[in-house]
Structure 1
Amino acid sequence: MSTPRGTRPPTGATPVPGRPGAGSGGASSGRPTSRTLRVRRILALVLLAVIVVGVVMLVKAAIAFGSGLLADAPEGKVAPPPPQEAAVGGYKKCEVKDLTLGLTASKSSYADGENPSFALTLTHVGRRPCFVDSSPASLELVVTSGQDRIWSSVDCPPAKKVLLMAPGDAYPQTVDWARARSAAECPADLPAPGAGDYSAVVTSTEVSGLASAPVVFTLQAPPPPPVETPPATEAPADGTVPPAEGDAAATDETAPADGAVPPADGAETATDGATP
């Protein structure tokens, strides 16, 4: 006898009480999915990359800071190289704010025939290199006495000498004065300066306003000639004083014993002792 079609029991397994079903309505097991794991891995890699980049930047900054400190701390004082004659292309011309001029005399007073000597120093005090003519053609040393212009180094100048100077450079030179007058175009037979007080100053004919402080010195007069004294007369060995000129002893004449005056030359002598 066949069973009715609508009353046939289901062919699937009978669910066990207390065990969750495997259907869509069942509870989750709690394990992350593969997609979640991939997202977490990507975020971890990004965070690690950010940390690495930050560490590298910090190391580079520390190295740069340390290098700056080492560069600013000199190991020892090294004298700058002397100024060199060089091409001036690409460099600006020195201005008065870039330079200083110093002038000193070798002595404060010079004896007769001694030539004064002056030490001139051109120093760069600016911040950038510049070029300047350092020859006596543009650094004029002038000697004056009051309002009288005695001598100038530009009256008979040598050739120019252009220097390229860097910050801190100093260019010393010596200028001698032969105690002679000078004028423009070097005329000859000028009167020589005499003894007295003089003043010297150096200025730049190329850099406007550049000048040194004045230096005062003295030219001494020649010593006076020696005074001639007459030779001393030698005294006789017996200690007697020699007779004066015109004295009887000087003429070897002996006075008469009776005190009579001897006759003049050519007069007759009385025989009786009477006075003629």
Structure 2
Amino acid sequence: MKGLRAPVGNQPSEVYWRRRIVLLVALAVIVALGWLIVSALSSDGAESAASSTPTTSTSPTSSTSPSPSVSQSESAASDDVTACVDGAISVSVAPNPASVPADKQPRFDVTIEQDGDVPCVIDATGKNTKLVITSGDDRIWSSNDCPAEEALIGKSWLLDAGDTKDVQVAWPRIRSAEGCAAVDQAPGAGTYWATVTVAGVKADAVPFVLE
């Protein structure tokens, strides 16, 4: 222990202390270099491992685009459509056929034409739509006499200006009375007249024959 604290030799003690300091510095440098080498190797290994690991790409999530909705202007336009007024439609009717065999019901082709300048709704669901059958001054039948026949057409349509709608109505070849009172007398052979009214608009009466 004394040799460590007080160097023994034929040279001055300062020489021995300088040697020891140089040796300690050299050892410290070696240790530092070793630590740097180990750190560098560890860092290179980590970077190599990271680069070799495949990255998982996230595919973009597909989104469902909303279905097109009705714009406010279109909704407002539909809200502005009103019922067809007087003069906006015309109605015509033709028997089909004009001469009806004894075992057939008379049928009539009805054509509704929109004569206005803007779209409008034709309501053929109420009592303003009816078929009336007459023979001279004798009122034979009306679709408004009995509830079962009131819905002669029972539909409504939105028609643009210039559009037409074709429908067919029928007469069950019986008599009727207001209030749906029972009538025993059956219509006989001869000439009859059919008058069709749609949404309050009356067509010209047309003749037809029952055989």
Normalising by the residue count of structure 2, what TM-score does the alignment of the two structures yield?
0.55
Alignment counterpart, residue 192 of structure 2, candidates 191, 198, 216: 198
Distance 1:106 1:91 in 2: 34
* Residue 97 of structure 1: how far off its partner (Å): 1.5
Alignment counterpart, residue 215 of structure 1, candidates 191, 194, 206: 206
* Residue 125 of structure 1: how far off its partner (Å): 1.3
1:118 corresponds to 2:108: yes
Identity of aligned residues (%): 35
User: Which ranges of 4 or more aligned residues in structure 1 deviate by more than 3 Å?
Assistant: none
Amino acid at match of 1:187: A
Q: Check the 8 A contact 1:123/1:170 in 2, yes or no.
A: yes
Q: Check the 8 A contact 1:106/1:116 in 2, yes or no.
A: yes
1:105 corresponds to 2:95: yes
Tell me the alpha carbon deviations over residues 9-43 of structure 1, each in whole angstroms, 9 at most, x when there is no partner.
Answer: xxxxxxxxxxxxxxxxxxxxxxxxxxxxxxxxxxx
Where do 5+ consecutive residues of structure 1 fail to align?
Answer: 1-86, 221-276
* Residue 160 of structure 1: how far off its partner (Å): 4.2
RMSD after superposition: 2.3
* Residue 139 of structure 1: how far off its partner (Å): 1.9
State the match for 2:28 in structure 1: none
1:15-164 aligned within 5 A: 89-135=79-125, 137-155=127-145, 156-158=149-151, 160-164=154-158
3-state DSSP class of the match of 1:93? coil
3-state DSSP class of the match of 2:80? coil
Distance 2:191 2:92 in 1: 21
Distance 1:160 1:116 in 2: 19
Q: Judging by fraction of residues, say which structure has more strand.
A: 2
Amino acid at match of 1:157: E
* Residue 189 of structure 1: how far off its partner (Å): 4.1
3-state DSSP class of the match of 1:126? coil
Q: How many residues align?
A: 131
Amino acid at match of 2:175: R
Where do 5+ consecutive residues of structure 2 fail to align?
Answer: 1-76
Q: Judging by fraction of residues, say which structure has more helix.
A: 2
* Residue 193 of structure 1: how far off its partner (Å): 0.9
Alignment counterpart, residue 175 of structure 1, candidates 169, 176, 191: 169
Change beyond 3 A, Cα 1:130–1:96:
same
Distance 2:123 2:78 in 1: 11
Distance 1:190 1:136 in 2: 27
Distance 2:133 2:196 in 1: 9
* Residue 128 of structure 1: how far off its partner (Å): 0.4
Q: Check the 8 A contact 1:110/1:218 in 2, yes or no.
A: yes
